Amino acid sequence: MIPEINEAGEACYKFIVASADEAVTVLREKLGENAKVISVRQVENGGLSRFLRAPKLEVIAQIDSKRTPFRPKPIPQPVRSEILVPDEPLVIPAGDQFLRVLRRAGIEGSILAGLQQHPEWTEIARRDLRSALDEVGVLMRELYQRRERRPLGNCVALIGTPGVGKTTALCKRLAADVFLHGKPARVLKLDTDKANPGDGLAIFCEALGVPMQRQGEMIEMNPGETLYVDLPGISVGNKVEVEEIAGLLDPREVTRVLVINAAYDVSSMKQAYALGESLQATHVGFTHLDELSHWGKLWEFLFLPNLQPLFLGSGQNIAGNFTEEVFDTVFSKMFPRVGSEAA
């Protein structure tokens, strides 16, 4: 809590709370027993919070200057995530056919370099191809599982460029929640300056018994319920659209899931990935897998550190396949003759 200096040269502390009880707690914990309240006013929530919560209170307080001044505790710096694989380029020795097979499967050099650091790699490379691929599957799973796992939370927004299948993916996710996991959910469909039609989504939500509403009403969330937010598509490079969506999403409250069309070329997928990072996305889902000619290009995106793979979707309608077993599915598609225990 950083103090502000008022016109009288006095240090003032401003903070936002949800209730008077929370204000008392913050005063005692942050400012100590010498704190005194100068003013209190009601403020409206910003972004999606205005649909979910009642207005909050802005409190301005001071510390009695005759007593020991308050010194706030330093904010700890975040710890950087561990790098999963080295960035050095991989050099494939002449005649090393096993590595060439893996490269043709789309496994990038940085991933292979990480695998080669395993103490049993030399022995694995000497085995027959099927057995060696079994072991590579186990090692790659170990690398994949070392990624940081991030919870979704109870408010999830799907973001992405136009036409990638965000709404279809949302419908499939709702069906998985309701039918497979027995989880309650509801949907909020938001408009920006760009239209966001929702007739199909509304019909599907009604069929599932999932409440859906447009912006403008206060949402009463039930215990254990997940709110899914459907947004218009965002054009890559359009700063106005990006800023508008960013203004709707509160980074403390909303988990952002980037949706990427896996049938796009790699450069377009990387542009979408950068868009997701700019909007602080933490998860990524891939659609149009039925149109994908080479599954190997997904390896690079599965091991990128900032976005956690969440789902794979096939088909442009809600009846298409949908799975959250991302690694197992990609590995089995690339090496269909390898034993299932490798995946």
Q: Which residues make Cβ contacts (< 8 Å) with residue 239, sequence separation at least 6?
A: none
pLDDT of residue 94: 41
Question: Do 178 and 278 reside in the same domain of the chain?
Answer: yes
260-300 pLDDT tens trace: 999 999 999 999 999 999 899 999 999 999 998 889 889 98
Q: 129-145 and 109-116 helices cross at what angle (nearest 10)?
A: 100
Bridge-partner residues for 57, per DSSP?
Answer: 17, 42
Question: Do 303 and 222 reside in the same domain of the chain?
Answer: yes
pLDDT over 80 at 330, yes or no: yes
Which structural domain range is residue 17 located in?
Answer: 4-63
211-248 pLDDT tens trace: 988 765 567 778 889 999 998 899 888 888 888 888 88
Q: Which residue has the higher pLDDT, 96 or 73?
A: 96
Q: Report CA-CA distances (Å) from 25 to 3, 62, 206, 311.
A: 18, 15, 43, 41
Residue 172 lies in a domain: yes
Question: Do 119 and 194 reside in the same domain of the chain?
Answer: no
Question: Do 40 and 114 reside in the same domain of the chain?
Answer: no
Nearest CA among 186, 165, 164 for reference residue 317: 165
Question: Do 313 and 173 reside in the same domain of the chain?
Answer: yes
Out of 86, 114, 145, a domain closes at 145
Question: Do 139 and 221 reside in the same domain of the chain?
Answer: no
Q: Report CA-CA distances (Å) from 246 to 101, 180, 235, 274.
A: 43, 32, 13, 14
Dig out the tokens for 241 from the structure.
Answer: 């659209």
Prediction pTM value: 0.69
Out of 105, 124, 145, a domain closes at 145
Question: Do 159 and 141 reside in the same domain of the chain?
Answer: no
Report the range out of 9-23, 297-311, 326-340 with the highest average pLDDT.
Answer: 297-311
110-151 pLDDT tens trace: 788 888 888 888 888 888 888 888 888 888 888 888 887 888
Q: 199-208 and 166-175 helices cross at what angle (nearest 10)?
A: 0
Of 88-97, 180-189, 308-317, 332-341, least confident by mean pLDDT is 88-97
The pLDDT of 304-332, averaged and rounded, is: 87
Distance CA 85, CA 113 (A): 7
Question: Do 186 and 330 reside in the same domain of the chain?
Answer: yes
Residue 113 lies in a domain: yes
Share of the chain above pLDDT 90, in %: 22
pLDDT of residue 326: 93
pLDDT over 70 at 170, yes or no: yes
Residue 124 lies in a domain: yes
Question: Do 221 and 115 reside in the same domain of the chain?
Answer: no
Out of 78, 112, 145, a domain closes at 145
Confidence band of 47 (pLDDT split at 50, 70, 90): low
pLDDT of residue 249: 82
Distance CA 61, CA 244 (A): 33
Share of the chain above pLDDT 70, in %: 77
Confidence band of 197 (pLDDT split at 50, 70, 90): low
Residue 182 lies in a domain: yes
pLDDT of residue 69: 45
Nearest CA among 172, 156, 197, 160 for reference residue 317: 172
The answer to whether residues 27 and 14 touch, using CB atoms and an 8 Å cutoff, is no
Question: Do 116 and 161 reside in the same domain of the chain?
Answer: no
pLDDT of residue 316: 75
> What's the angle, vertex CA 141, arms to CA 135 and CA 312, rounded to 5?
125
pLDDT over 60 at 209, yes or no: yes
pLDDT of residue 64: 65
pLDDT of residue 265: 92
Confidence band of 91 (pLDDT split at 50, 70, 90): very low
The pLDDT of 328-342, averaged and rounded, is: 72
CATH label of the domain that carries residue 254: 3.40.50.300
pLDDT of residue 281: 93
The pLDDT of 2-24, averaged and rounded, is: 72
Residue 84 lies in a domain: no
- The DSSP annotation for 123-147 comes to HHHTS-HHHHHHHHHHHHHHHHHTS
Residue 80 lies in a domain: no
Question: Do 120 and 226 reside in the same domain of the chain?
Answer: no
Tell me which amino acid residue 209 is. G
pLDDT of residue 66: 56
Question: Do 213 and 115 reside in the same domain of the chain?
Answer: no
Distance CA 114, CA 269 (A): 24
Per-chain mean pLDDT for the chain: 78
Residue 81 lies in a domain: no
Q: Domains in the chain: how many in total?
A: 3
150-166 pLDDT tens trace: 888 889 999 999 989 99
Residue 274 lies in a domain: yes
